[in-house]
Amino acid sequence: MEKSTEQIRPYEAVIIVHPDATLDEQKELFRKNKSTIQSFKGNIHSLDTWGKRTIANQIGKLRKALYFHTTFESQPAAIAELERTMRNNDRVLRFVHTKLDPRTPVAKHLEAFKKTLQETAQREKEREAKFQAKRAAAAAFREDRKSVV
């Protein structure tokens, strides 16, 4: 018995899907992923939809896409099968699977991940508020200059 194929390991994945993918297409993708994971003695811990977001680097002519984040446990061989099926699905634009530290429970990793997401979102809000304040100050300055001239 080979140890590497029998051991159940924790993973996370981020999947970027075409923005025009229907809800049925999305559900079918994750149904297929779930059955693949279960066939390799695994189980899904979470599947979060981040919604439609701007893509950092344009893919084709697309500027937005649907983002999904999932955590699961499975045998390592499941990753190759998941990636094969996602490469064959024309609605999946990009994906990445990451092996998590097996010493840390998946729930604890997920908690830390969500905390980091909240902190990042807060920093982004602060950065946007600072940008808007700077923009308003510049507009006020231009108005003052117009009134002087």
Q: Express each pLDDT in 34-71 by its tens digit.
A: 999 999 999 999 998 888 988 888 888 999 999 999 99
Residue 149: pLDDT band with limits 50, 70, 90: low
Q: What is the pLDDT of residues 126-138, one digit of tens each?
A: 989 998 999 988 8
Q: What is the pTM of this model?
A: 0.75
Domain residue limits at 134: 105-149
Q: Which of 65, 84, 82 is nearest to 11 (CA)?
A: 82
Is residue 45 within 8 Å of residue 106, measured between CB atoms? Answer: yes
13 and 56 share a domain? yes
119 and 82 share a domain? no
CA–CA gap between residue 29 and residue 32 (Å, rounded): 5
What CATH code is carried by the domain that includes residue 41?
A: 3.30.70.60
Count of CB atoms within 10 A of residue 66's CB? Answer: 19
